[in-house]
Amino acid sequence: MDLQYALELVGTIVFAISGVLAVREREHDMFGAGFTGFITAIGGGTLRDILLDSYPLVWIGDVKFLYAILVGILAAFIFPNFLSRLRKTFFLFDTLGIAFFTVLGVEKALHLGVRPEIAAIMGMFSAVMGGVIRDTLTNEIPILFRKEIYASACLSGAIFYLVLNYFEVPRDINLLVSVALIIAIRLIAMRFKLSLPRLD
Amino acid sequence: MDLQYALELVGTIVFAISGVLAVREREHDMFGAGFTGFITAIGGGTLRDILLDSYPLVWIGDVKFLYAILVGILAAFIFPNFLSRLRKTFFLFDTLGIAFFTVLGVEKALHLGVRPEIAAIMGMFSAVMGGVIRDTLTNEIPILFRKEIYASACLSGAIFYLVLNYFEVPRDINLLVSVALIIAIRLIAMRFKLSLPRLD
Amino acid sequence: MDLQYALELVGTIVFAISGVLAVREREHDMFGAGFTGFITAIGGGTLRDILLDSYPLVWIGDVKFLYAILVGILAAFIFPNFLSRLRKTFFLFDTLGIAFFTVLGVEKALHLGVRPEIAAIMGMFSAVMGGVIRDTLTNEIPILFRKEIYASACLSGAIFYLVLNYFEVPRDINLLVSVALIIAIRLIAMRFKLSLPRLD
């Protein structure tokens, strides 16, 4: 429980850092960059909770998430070069982050009583919609439509979790296995430059 | 009642198909295209229900809508050429869809107890905001700002419905007449290339 | 109380006018321009209230705001040249508007029982997110990311209000001083072309 909470805060910091660094090459001032970090960190969970009518929103009910975001933004301000050089490390962290938030999003949705089909979508939303909102605000083509295997890895992991959950696999094992599956799909897709077919 | 429900599901399928086909020429992979279909189909009603605090959202409370969307996405994946050649037919379906969803949106808003002015806006939102959100996410100028007579046809029909409703015209007749008006405005505008004046 | 309500309505009119005029040079028809005015006027407060689960939304619960928006849109339609020539006056009005809405947004959030950190963000959101949503829909880089000192002036004023509030400065004085601070920051920044440092 405590470990999970700590991981959520760390994941929030990572999302905020990646949001700030995503606009680094662009003409944003520091305020705009910080705002981008904020939106990236809260966007997915906020959308999920609004869709599910789950209030208060996580970052509004628990101010520690706001401070986690501030830590991430400040870190990106103070050590931008250092953190950018960590790109590979960061890719791993980001992958860990979306994997973890996907499964937590699925669990939260199930807990709120929705059907598994909806829970799968909510899990994916939790993980990727922060980045989508960020990209939309900054006039980029959202990552969802660019990256080879990104949201689809999350959706696969979410469905996998729901299947294991249906067969009553213990929660801790299921969490671990599903997170690992998302990470594996994304890393393998990246390594071998796999992508989904285009529509034509 | 049953007929209306069936029409809502069919309308949802049509919106999902049109969402997928809208990004066909672009660089999206199948996942991105499917996601676009999903957003197009749920966007308008979801925004309306969030603004009116009406929960659960339609597609979250009734999973049949989710399956209707899946049917639409799969149809667009499997028969893209066939469906694209049906463009004229599709234009008719889409026009029927926005007309129908406008009036249903007005009715839902009235049912939730808001004033007619608000209900008119909610009717228009139900019909067009799915496309607006889709266009915003995919970095297009939203249809609302491009198309000659589109959202304004919906708004006109919504206001017309509310006027007839005020004079206690029976609901079935009102529904039929208002839907017909929206369709007529759009078809006539299209046929004669009518457009609203620009601002200058 | 009555004065405040009148100011809110005037602020809404100003926001609607500025929304319409913002797309004047572009290819929008009158409906699109009016829609842009509408979104600009309601966007910030609507987002704040959805995030805080405060229903009914202001413009849905009190139809006078809708009519204020209509007045603004019609004024911009009828006197576009006159209003555009007033650009400097307008800049003052807009600055007054965002300053005022920031502080009212902070107060509303506090009233709903959230922590001051959250209230500061909600104040800024009330003032600037209407413009951000407008810019996103019309495919502009949002003002937040372009303008030298804009949202950051609002955030500073919001925090200032919260500090004075903590020291129990009477509300009327606090309102006045905090609004004045936001205006001062923005005018000084504009006059001397001050801007926040970029991230690098």
User: To 10 degrees, what angle do helices A2-22 and A116-137 make?
Assistant: 30
Exposed, middle or buried: residue A92 (CB in 10 Å: 0-12, 13-18, 19+)? middle
When pLDDT is cut at 50, 70 and 90, the band that residue A148 belongs to is low
Q: List subunits contacting chain A, requiring 3 or more Cβ pairs under 8 Å.
A: B, C
Given a contact cutoff of 8 angstroms between Cβ atoms, the answer to whether C170 and B165 are in contact is no
Min Cα separation A112/chain C (Å): 17
- The token pair at A146 is 């660019």
CB B51 within 8 A of CB C57: yes
pLDDT digits (tens, 9 = 90+) for A5-37: 988 998 899 899 888 888 877 767 888 899 999
Cα–Cα distance for residue pair A157/A181, rounded to 1 Å? 6
Q: What is the pLDDT of residue A23?
A: 80
pLDDT greater than 70 at residue C153: yes
Give me the mean pLDDT over the B167-186 stretch: 94
Interface test with B, best of A53, A110, A117, A145 (most B CBs within 10 A): A145
Q: How confident is the model at residue B24 (pLDDT cuts 50, 70, 90)?
A: confident
Query: Quick check: C9 pLDDT over 90?
Result: yes
Q: Which residues of B touch C66 (CB under 8 A)?
A: 117-118, 121
Q: Name the minimum distance, in Å, from the CA of A152 to any CA of chain B.
A: 7
Q: How far is A182 from chain B (nearest CA, A)?
A: 16
Binding partners of B (≥3 Cβ pairs within 8 A): A, C
User: Residue A160, Cβ neighbours under 10 Å: how many?
Assistant: 20
d(CA C160, CA C180): 11
CA B32 to CA A21: how far, in whole Å? 24
| pLDDT tens-digit readout, A40-95 | 999 999 999 999 999 999 999 999 999 999 999 999 889 877 777 777 777 787 88
What is the predicted ipTM? 0.91
pLDDT (0 to 100) of residue C128 = 92
Which residue of chain C has the CA closest to A58? Answer: C51
Shortest CB distance from B137 goes to which of A53, A117, A136? A136
CB contact under 8 A, A29 and C132: no
Residue range C83-102, pLDDT digits in tens: 777 767 777 878 888 999 99
Percentage with pLDDT > 70 across chain B: 96
For residue B26, the model assigns a pLDDT of 73
Task: State the average pLDDT for chain C.
Answer: 89
Identify the weakest region by mean pLDDT among B83-87, C66-70, C168-172, C174-178. Answer: B83-87
The pLDDT tens digits for C117-126 are 999 999 999 9
Q: Any idea which of A117-121, A194-198, C44-48 has the lowest mean pLDDT?
A: A194-198
pLDDT band for B39, please (50, 70, 90 cuts).
Answer: very high
B32: closest CA of chain A, how far (Å): 5
